[in-house]
Amino acid sequence: MKEHKEQVISDIFAALKKAEQKHPGWPDDVFEQLAIIGEEFGELQKAVLHVKYEGGLKSAIYEEGCQVAAMGIRFMLNIDEPRCFGSKKLEGD
């Protein structure tokens, strides 16, 4: 199990690196960032439906899941940027 977790984490970080290279810019607006995560989640949903109803490959689910996780990490890495929320500060800051 430990080896599997380490592989999953490695694959997620590989997806993150690939995404950062392909799309080096990250939106300033937090809602645009969420839209990217939503788009990736939609692709994951599509992959799951494809496997369940059309005999698609489970590897597509894994790949899309890694991309969703990678975008979640990218979101979290940028959440403290003041530009994400304009001039407003988050409560508790």
The string of pLDDT tens digits covering residues 6-24 is: 999 999 999 999 999 999 9
Per the structure, the count of domains in the chain is 1
Give domain status of residue 90, yes or no.
no
Model-level pTM? Answer: 0.84
Residue 91, pLDDT above cutoff 90: no
Give domain status of residue 57, yes or no.
yes
Give domain status of residue 43, yes or no.
yes
Give domain status of residue 92, yes or no.
no
Give domain status of residue 44, yes or no.
yes
Give domain status of residue 14, yes or no.
yes
The string of pLDDT tens digits covering residues 40-90 is: 999 999 999 999 999 999 999 999 999 999 999 999 998 876 666 665 555
- Residue 58 sits in which domain range? 2-84
Of 81, 83, 51, nearest in space to 65 by CA: 51
Q: In this structure, are residues 68 and 40 in contact, taking their beta carbons and an 8 Å threshold?
A: yes
pLDDT reported for residue 86? 64
